[in-house]
Amino acid sequence: MKAKSSVLKQKEFLILMVMYEHREYQQMGLTSTNLVAQLIENKSLWFKVGQVRDNKKFETALKGDLSRLEQKLRYLKRNSSGKYVMGKYFEEGFPTLISQLYEYLDVEIEFQEHVMANRIDREYIVQEIRDGKIPFSVLSANDEKKMNMLTDEQMQKLVEYSVKFGISI
């Protein structure tokens, strides 16, 4: 995966993560304004890698990403009020995207023996990651070409989802 593709996939992951985590957006729909509120901490990271410029608003960039997720990938669709909801391919596309990013960003989860004994209990492992009992590292963190645009909390979510969807175990 090239850096440009990685940036697009990270942005897509963030948008789909917001949709996946918020039941009200799943039911009522999501707008670019909602995304700005949810992803405001990413604005400086996106500016750093050239995804947002002084003359281009953060919300404008998100509108383009929403449109791509709707029209090209069909992970999202518009409801009758024009808001975005889960689309036809959301259920299969979201885990695929997580898998691609997990591999590209070279994430390593440091499973310990007591975790391996409970390996089949994914929810237990996710909770252990949340509680900080299972460390993980992003081996590509020092590789500037990889352009990691995720905050620490979002990276943790990526790791949690990789376990939840059976990608990393």
Tens digit of pLDDT at every position of the chain (169 positions): 777 788 889 999 999 999 999 999 999 999 999 999 999 888 887 777 676 666 567 888 889 999 999 999 999 999 999 999 999 999 999 999 999 999 998 999 987 765 666 556 888 889 989 999 889 998 877 676 666 788 889 999 999 999 999 998 7
What b/e readout covers 29-45, taking b as 16+ CB neighbours within 10 angstroms?
Answer: bbbbebbbebbeebbeb
25, 18 in Cβ contact below 8 A? yes
Write down the pLDDT at residue 60: 87
Amino acid of residue 136:
F
Sequence spans of domains, the chain: 3-164
Alpha carbons 74 and 66: distance in angstroms, whole number: 10
pLDDT for the residue 57: 79
Instruction: Dig out the tokens for 132 from the structure.
Output: 């900080």
pTM of the model: 0.88
How far apart CA 63 and CA 61 sit, in angstroms, is: 5
